[in-house]
Amino acid sequence: MVELTPELEKRLLMIVPLVVKWIEKDKKLKETEIQTFYKLYADIYDWAKDATYEDLMKFNKKYENDKHYEEYFKILLSPKGREYSKYLLQLANEWKPKFVKFSQINE
Q: What pLDDT shows up at residue 35?
A: 82
Q: What pLDDT shows up at residue 25?
A: 96
Listed in sequence order, the DSSP H helices in the chain are 6-25, 31-40, 42-50, 53-62, 70-76, 79-95
Residue 62: count other Cβ atoms within 10 Å of its Cβ: 12
Q: What pLDDT shows up at residue 51?
A: 84
Tens of pLDDT along the chain (107 residues) come to 678 899 999 999 999 999 999 999 999 988 888 888 888 988 888 888 888 888 888 898 899 999 999 999 999 999 999 999 888 888 877 775 454 555 554 44
